[in-house]
Every structure is written in structure tokens, then in C-alpha cells.
Structure 1
């Protein structure tokens, strides 16, 4: 990605924008009306360097609106994606990513855009407070994790040699375990309600779709107990054999 050094005019623009950070959208348009594309871009880069991503996003958005097809347009959109992401604005981030990919399907940085889409959706599935308090909420809807998994898979499939592919692969492993934990949480919910058929089906789903995760033992144990409650001796025996073979220390093995 091309980097531009701040200029004196850019610094003046930063000062003006900072002073008017509480201005309305109309006032912002007045402030930026007489600024050239390069000057606005330099101001945005300066804000990014200083960690003021909200201000950078505001400037980049104004620049993108005024010069949508200029020589800086692609880099402006890429920086806007990152600034929105760092500002904690997932909806704006996703919208900007989707527009960039749709309008520039052959651009050299599409892999970066897809990677950022995955990161954004992955972050959307986290709860900082629950993480800090060590609260397990694996039963929460993993819709955003599924989207993130699809984003990373698309990146790896379309751009296997991308510099982001290795990290995307690691994140997919993490997400698969998250999805498997969700299935186990729902299976245990069914167990408490004595809905043993539904619980066993959830356990089998984990075995079939997430066989390389940490939740396989729990899935097998749920299947053993569910089949036992249902009186399905053959299915129980098969699940128990698999459990003994792979997890001989399981408390379900007597």
C-alpha cells in the first residue's frame, strides 16, 4: 500500500478538523470544500498515525465522497476500511469492504479486504466484558462466527498464496471450535429438558462436521448418555466403543 507523508497543508487540515470535531455533517462539508484530494488524504493519514481513527474515518469518508474515482480512490477506500474497523464501526466496515470488492474484483488488495471482513465478523461475535470476567457464553448465537469462517474460507480458496492466508487458517480453527462448543451447549440444554433425540443429533453433528475440535469427547459422551436414556443399545455401544478408543480416561467409561 502506498504511504504519503504529511505536509504542512495537511497538518493545517488536521487542526481545522480537530477543532470542528463536533460540527454537523454540513459544517464538515464546508470545512473540506476547499481542500484538495492529496491534502485531505495526508490529513487522514496523519490522524491514523496518531491513533485517531474516528477522525481519519470522517476525513476519508469525505474524501471518498468528493473524489470517488480519483487516483487515490482505491487507497482511500482501503484506509477507510481499516479506520472504520479500528473505530469499532462494524456495519460501516462491512459495507465499505463489500463495495470495494464489488467494484474492484481484480484489485491486488481484495485479499486484504476479505481478511478484514473476516476479522470484523469475528470481532462481532466476541463480548469483551464476558471475556474479561471469564464468563462462558458458548450458547450465544454464532451467526457472526459462521460469516467470519466463510470470509476466511473464501480468502484461502481464492488467494491461497496471500500473506493473510496463514493467519486466516488459524482463525478458522478457532472458529470451528467455537461453533462446536455452541452445538455442545445446545445439546446439554436438550439433555436438561430430557429431549434426548435432539441432544444425540447435536452430538452426532459435532462428530460429523467438527471432528478435529476439542469438543468431540463431549459429543460422544452426550451420545452415549442420550442413547442410554432412549434404550438404543446398539447406537450406545457404537458410541461407547469410539469413546473408549479415543478418550480412555472419560468418566463415562466404567
Structure 2
């Protein structure tokens, strides 16, 4: 067989292989295209109520996407604004806090005068509040929660959300004080008295209304006594006795002044587990839906935003 014939046969086979591969690729591409959902424009009420039905079923991720579809298909509808807020609320319920915050910031920027702006600020604050960690960890989320909760109180002082924000501000501040107490006890346990003293002073000076002040004053009495600073110890004990005469911490401080017993190791374990007791006992209740009473949990539903 001549070389020319062999070359011709090889070329034919190569062409057939290329044609088969091209045809196969066309099938794959066509199949992928078939999998894409076709864009179907629907009435605004159908989209919105469908999203609400998904909320009823706790399918929050799907609900959020459908609320977004309301805005995409009907951007000039009055329900598009409500859908923006409901999408963020659905993401909040799904614990997608970062995504919810993006939507809430956008809502606030686009609709600062909307009647539900107070709720948007409130939900934004709760996105941070829900992420507060125990006192042994970083407290950046607590700081953000305090900042945004205070913004609710400052901007909307007469709203029902402001009442709940004030409660959560107190709990968050108590939590921050608990963090300082935890660090202070660590230093005290390791006999780093000045470092511990600075932490307890922060509690008595910056968190005066929290539940940790009596113990902080007592720890200061312990440290001053250990360092031989009797006058400072007496002053701290006097403040403790004047403001918290029935406190167990005053009794311990009094025992130090009478018996000279000031071994901090005897009382360090006494409070090591109470730093965030009040905060966590609040249950970190989830936010209610827009327009609902913030004193309620999110177990029920509401008539604020559904077509009838």
C-alpha cells in the first residue's frame, strides 16, 4: 500500500474523530443549557405570596431568593420595598447574618424615611447581637451590637424597638464587664496584681450599672490589702459597703479587714462561671418579623406583608 493511500485513510479517520467529538460537545453544551431555569415573569402577588409560603415552611434561603425576585421583576412596585426587607429577615432567620447585613444597609440607604426604617436598624443590630460569643473570646461583635443598638435608641427613641434595644444594651454592657472580670481574675490568679487592678477599675469606672461592680470592688480590696495599701483597701471597701451593703462580696471584704484573710484563691472559683449568666439566660431571642412586637419571639406569623 502506497504512502499516499495511507495518508488519505489517516486523514479520513482524523476527520471522523473530530466530527464525533464536536457532536458530543454539542450534546453536552445543549444539555447544560437545558438545565438552566427559564426566566418566567410572574405577577408580583404570586411571587410575594409564594415567598411568604416558603417562610411559613421555614425554607428561609429559598424565600430570600424569591423576595429578591419580587424586586428584580417588579422594581417599581410598592411590594418591592417590602420584599427587600423581608429578604434580609429571611436571611437573618437562616443565620446568614453577613448577607442579611448587606441587604439591610442597602434598604437603609435607599429608604431612610420608610416607615419600617426603625425595624431595619433594629434587625441590623440583632444580626450583631446574635453573634456575641462567650467572655472567653473576642468581643468585637459585642462592641458592634452595642453601637448599632444605641443607634436604634438614638434615632427612634419612641419606637417599640428602642425598648428592646435598651434591654439588650444593658445585657451587652454586662457581658463586656464580664469579659473584663474574666481577664482580671486571670491576672489575679497569676499574681499580676497591677494588671488585674486595672481590669477591675475598668469595670467600676466604665460599667458602673452592671452586676459585676460588687465583685470588682471586692477584688480591688483584695489586691490593695495584698500590696499593703490599707487606705486604698478601706476606701474600696467603703464604696462597696455603701452601695451594696447586702452583697456577699461586702461580707468577704469585711472578713478581710477583720481577720486579715485575703487569699483570692478562695473566691476566684465562686464567680468564674457567672460572667455571662444574665446575658445567656435572656435566651438571645430571635427578632420578630417586620411590624410585629419586638417583645415576642419569632414563633408566630404576621399580617404586615401579605397579599389578600
Q: What TM bracket, shorter-length normalisation? A: 0.7 to 0.9
SS at match of 1:72: helix
How do 1:2-41 and structure 2 match up within 5 A?
30-41=37-48
Partner of 1:101: 108
Instruction: Give 1:152 deviation, angstroms.
Output: 1.4
Corresponding position of 2:135: 138
Aligned length: 219
| 1:234 maps to 2:235 | no
CA deviations 1:113-150 (Å, max 9, x no partner) are: 11111211111115xxxxxxxxxx42222221221121
Higher Rg of the two aligned structures: 2
Structure 2, unmatched stretches of 5+, are 1-31, 256-308
**Shift in CA distance, 47/240, structure 1 to aligned 2, threshold 3 Å:** same
Over residues 146-194 of structure 1, what are the superposed CA-to-partner deviations in whole Å (9 max), with x where a residue is unaligned? 2112111111111111121111111111111111111101111111232
Query: Residue 67 of structure 1: CA displacement?
Result: 4.2
Tell me what 2:205 maps to: 208
Q: Would the alpha carbon gap of residues 61 and 193 (structure 1) be closer, same or farther in structure 2, given more than 3 Å must change?
A: farther
Sort the Cα spacing of 1:32 and 1:84 in 2 relative to 1 into closer, same or farther, 3 A.
farther
Give secondary structure in 2 for the equivalent of 1:152. Answer: helix
SS at match of 1:107: coil
Larger mean Cα displacement after TM superposition, 59-68 or 116-125: 59-68
> Which has the higher relative contact order, 1 or 2, with Cα contacts under 8 A spaced 6 or more apart?
2
* Residue segments in structure 1 that go unaligned for 5+ positions in a row: 1-23, 127-136
Taking the aligned partners of 2:254 and 2:151, their CA distance within structure 1 comes to: 41
TM-score, with normalisation over the residues of structure 2?
Answer: 0.65
1:92 aligns with 2:99: yes
Deviation at 1:230, TM superposition (A): 3.4
Q: How does 1:175-190 map to 2 (within 5 A)?
A: 175-190=172-187
For the 8 Å contact 2:71–2:81, the answer to whether it is kept is: no
Residue of structure 2 in register with 1:44 after alignment: 51
Q: Which residue of 1 aligns with 2:253?
A: 252
Does residue 171 in structure 1 map to residue 168 in structure 2? yes
Using the size of structure 1 for normalisation, the TM-score is: 0.78
